[in-house]
């Protein structure tokens, strides 16, 4: 029997012969969808959303890395390009993700391949399963479906990203560079929002608008920066004092990538400050500190000395007074008799939500009150009359998991977090001292920043689960410690 060679791209030789008959069908299909959008007279931006999803899906069928890159671009546009079809919202991000998932599924079917899985897939999937099972205790199934969909989409994006990045040589490069470039672009837009006071009155603190970029809330913007800024910092640190052997990325000189990443870090840090998210600040402090520490060498020494000097300079400036004033209002006092003032209102509101979440978990210990039903049941479990209006979440990822999915959900969520940490540590050991380690270090910093921020906000909502799935998959895809190019050789 003749052996069948499997190329690096992961496309079986037998399956490759099917493509000449598929592509001529797919391209006219894309044009047909575009014509349908125009002829049906769909209003803007629904027509653009559907057409963009169709085009990107067709491209992803042939080049999966194009689809994954488009997904990274689409994440920040969740709340900017959307419309309504019937009673449902259709967003650019959702259309892109659904189209790419369909293309990826069709491609896998034609190639006769199964997705490449990992321990993270099992742990992540287990928690998504528990979230889905909570429908049996959910008071309102419509709220359950919204949150469950967010978890399912984040899980699907991780599985897709892991499969594509581990199969396609060169797929890592455009995704990472897109995330780094997006950091700079979104931060510049955030500076404009602060300068022009663009935003609702509720986003103003001490007369200064909190930047939110293209996201619906400053804390969500800060959560996005938690994931991407440490990755950019890892590239910059790798250029300054990282392992030798890293010469070019995607044909660009090492210095070009290093300088570009450094500028993105500066912009991203400024964007985080402009968001005025104290959880985001703490997250970036932890994440970036870990990146610098793991890089080691000259980078660690210079960063410690420079960080102290920069902190003194900032605190002595007018900006420093704004920052210290914002931090001082974050003092947590668990006592229930604390006098509520405008300065500590946000902190006390968080504490009220924490207490309500714990009370929900005590009252419903196994599966909680059901996914998405925290806000619906909040009034039953809060004792503070000042905070009777609920936010959509418990302001803490672990408390939120316990409240909505009980001890079972809290357990699976904790296992998923621990599994991600274990896998990242293994990837770091495997790539330690090699050019490939810069990506792993950046992902570790981003995940730690995200987790730290998650102690004060619930970030597994909106479009951040998709970005988190892509970020974790980046580290999983780094397979060759001897690679000279940390982003291109898998």
Domain ranges of the chain: 13-114, 149-303+392-477
**Mean pLDDT across the stretch 165-190?**
89
Residue with the bigger pLDDT between 31 and 216: it is 216
Task: Measure Cα distances from 454 to 280, 290, 461 in Å.
Answer: 9, 17, 11
pLDDT at 483 over 50: no
Confidence tier at 198 by pLDDT (50, 70, 90): confident
**Mean pLDDT across the stretch 304-312?**
77
C-alpha–C-alpha distance, residues 155 and 362, integer Å: 28
- The mean-pLDDT minimum among 34-43, 274-283, 431-440 falls in 34-43
Q: According to the model, what pLDDT value does residue 77 have?
A: 76
Confidence tier at 36 by pLDDT (50, 70, 90): low
C-alpha–C-alpha distance, residues 430 and 433, integer Å: 9
pLDDT at 7 over 80: no
Per DSSP, helices labelled H in 168-250 are 172-196, 218-241
Query: In this structure, are strands 82-85 and 252-253 parallel, antiparallel, or unpaired?
Result: unpaired
Q: According to the model, what pLDDT value does residue 23 have?
A: 53
pLDDT at 350 over 80: yes
Residue with the bigger pLDDT between 307 and 400: it is 400
Residue with the bigger pLDDT between 478 and 187: it is 187
The 3-state DSSP class for residue 205 equals: strand
Which residues 6+ apart lie within 8 Å of 400 measured at CB? 357, 374, 393, 394, 458, 460
pLDDT at 3 over 60: no
What mean pLDDT, rounded, does the chain reach? Answer: 80
Confidence tier at 43 by pLDDT (50, 70, 90): low
Closest residue by Cα to residue 273 from 298, 310, 300:
310
**Mean pLDDT across the stretch 142-147?**
90
Say how far residue 181 (Cα) sits from the centre of its chain. 15
- The mean-pLDDT minimum among 232-236, 319-323, 390-394 falls in 319-323
Per DSSP, helices labelled H in 216-340 are 218-241, 254-275, 278-295, 297-315, 318-328
C-alpha–C-alpha distance, residues 343 and 326, integer Å: 9
What percentage of the chain reaches a pLDDT higher than 70?
76
Closest residue by Cα to residue 179 from 220, 247, 229, 253:
229
pLDDT at 395 over 80: yes
Closest residue by Cα to residue 349 from 283, 285, 313, 395:
395
Tens of pLDDT along 402-419?
Answer: 999 999 999 999 999 999
Closest residue by Cα to residue 262 from 229, 227, 217:
229
pLDDT at 474 over 90: yes
Question: Taking the model in full, what pTM does it have?
Answer: 0.85
Contact between 386 and 148 under an 8 Å Cβ cutoff? The reply is: no
C-alpha–C-alpha distance, residues 390 and 379, integer Å: 7
Confidence tier at 347 by pLDDT (50, 70, 90): confident
As a three-state string, the secondary structure of 62-87 is: HCHHHHHHHHHHHHHHCCCCEEEECC
Exposure of 460 by Cβ count < 10 A (0-12 exposed, 13-18 middle, 19+ buried)? Answer: buried
Q: Which is it for the CA torsion 312, 317, 323, 325, positive or negative?
A: positive
As a three-state string, the secondary structure of 437-471 is: HHHHHHHHHHHHHHHHHCCCCCCCCCCHHHHHHHH
The 3-state DSSP class for residue 248 equals: strand
**Mean pLDDT across the stretch 38-45?**
56
- The mean-pLDDT minimum among 35-49, 53-67, 261-275, 426-440 falls in 35-49
Scored b (16 or more CB within 10 A) or e, 48-66 reads: ebbbbbbbbbbbbbeebbb
Q: According to the model, what pLDDT value does residue 365 have?
A: 94
Contact between 183 and 225 under an 8 Å Cβ cutoff? The reply is: yes
Backbone phi and psi for residue 343, each to the nearest 5 degrees, phi listed first: -75, -35
Neighbours of 122 (CB within 10 A): 12
Closest residue by Cα to residue 70 from 48, 92, 44, 46:
92
Tens of pLDDT along 98-129?
Answer: 888 888 888 888 788 888 889 999 999 999 99
C-alpha–C-alpha distance, residues 70 and 96, integer Å: 7
Q: According to the model, what pLDDT value does residue 411 have?
A: 97
pLDDT at 470 over 80: yes
What is the maximal distance between C-alpha atoms in the chain?
81
Per DSSP, helices labelled H in 112-140 are 119-133
pLDDT at 61 over 60: yes
Q: According to the model, what pLDDT value does residue 363 have?
A: 95
Task: Measure Cα distances from 202 to 139, 207, 433 in Å.
Answer: 30, 11, 47
Tens of pLDDT along 311-337?
Answer: 777 667 666 565 655 555 555 555 455
Residue with the bigger pLDDT between 329 and 401: it is 401
How many angstroms separate the first and last alpha carbons of the chain? Answer: 31
Q: According to the model, what pLDDT value does residue 14 have?
A: 40
- The mean-pLDDT minimum among 230-239, 354-363, 373-382, 472-481 falls in 472-481
pLDDT at 354 over 90: yes
Confidence tier at 309 by pLDDT (50, 70, 90): confident
pLDDT at 11 over 50: no
Q: According to the model, what pLDDT value does residue 39 have?
A: 46
- The mean-pLDDT minimum among 70-74, 373-377, 417-421 falls in 70-74
Q: Which is it for the CA torsion 351, 146, 118, 448, positive or negative?
A: negative
pLDDT at 384 over 80: no
Angle at 436 between CA 430 and CA 442, to 5 degrees: 95
């Amino acid at each position: 029997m003749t052996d069948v060679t499997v190329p690096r791209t992961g496309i079986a030789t037998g399956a490759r012969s099917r493509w000449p008959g598929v592509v001529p069908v797919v391209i006219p299909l894309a044009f047909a969808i575009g014509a349908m959008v125009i002829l049906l007279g769909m209003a803007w931006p629904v027509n653009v959303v559907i057409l963009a999803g169709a085009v990107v899906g067709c491209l992803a069928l042939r080049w999966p890395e194009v689809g994954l890159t488009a997904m990274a671009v689409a994440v920040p546009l969740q709340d900017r390009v959307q419309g309504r079809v019937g009673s449902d919202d259709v967003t650019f991000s959702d259309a892109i993700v659904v189209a790419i998932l369909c293309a990826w599924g069709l491609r896998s079917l034609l190639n006769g391949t199964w997705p490449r899985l990992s321990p993270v897939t099992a742990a992540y999937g287990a928690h998504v399963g528990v979230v889905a099972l909570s429908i049996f205790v959910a008071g309102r199934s419509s709220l359950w479906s919204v949150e469950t969909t967010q978890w399912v989409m984040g899980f699907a994006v991780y599985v897709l990203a892991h499969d594509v990045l581990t199969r396609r040589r060169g797929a890592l490069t455009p995704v990472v560079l897109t995330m780094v470039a997006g950091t700079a672009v979104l931060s510049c837009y955030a500076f404009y929002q602060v300068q022009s006071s663009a935003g609702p009155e509720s986003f103003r603190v001490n007369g200064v608008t909190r930047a939110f970029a293209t996201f619906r809330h400053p804390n969500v913007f800060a959560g996005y920066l938690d994931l991407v800024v440490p990755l950019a910092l890892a590239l910059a640190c790798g250029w300054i004092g990282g392992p030798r052997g890293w010469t070019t990325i995607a044909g660009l000189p090492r210095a070009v990538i290093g300088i570009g990443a450094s500028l993105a870090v500066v912009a991203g840090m400024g964007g985080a400050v402009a968001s005025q998210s104290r959880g985001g600040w703490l997250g970036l402090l932890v994440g970036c500190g870990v990146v610098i520490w793991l890089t080691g060498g000259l980078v660690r020494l210079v960063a410690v000395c420079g960080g102290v000097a920069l902190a003194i300079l900032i605190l002595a400036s007018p900006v420093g007074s704004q920052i210290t004033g914002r931090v001082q209002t974050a003092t947590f006092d668990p006592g229930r008799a604390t006098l509520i003032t405008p300065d500590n209102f946000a902190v006390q509101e968080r504490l009220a939500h924490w207490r309500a979440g714990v009370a929900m978990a005590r009252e419903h210990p196994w599966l909680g009150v059901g996914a998405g039903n925290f806000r619906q049941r909040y009034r039953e479990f809060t004792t503070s009359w000042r905070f009777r209006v609920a936010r959509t979440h418990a302001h803490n990822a672990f408390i939120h998991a316990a409240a909505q999915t009980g001890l079972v959900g809290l357990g699976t969520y904790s296992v998923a977090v621990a599994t991600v940490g274990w896998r990242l540590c293994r990837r770091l050991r495997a790539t330690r001292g090699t050019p490939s380690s810069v990506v792993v270090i950046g992902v570790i910093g981003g995940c730690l920043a995200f987790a730290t921020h998650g102690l004060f906000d619930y970030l597994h909502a909106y479009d951040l689960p998709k970005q988190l799935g892509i970020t974790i998959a980046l580290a999983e895809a780094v397979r060759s410690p001897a690679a000279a190019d940390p982003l291109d050789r898998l």
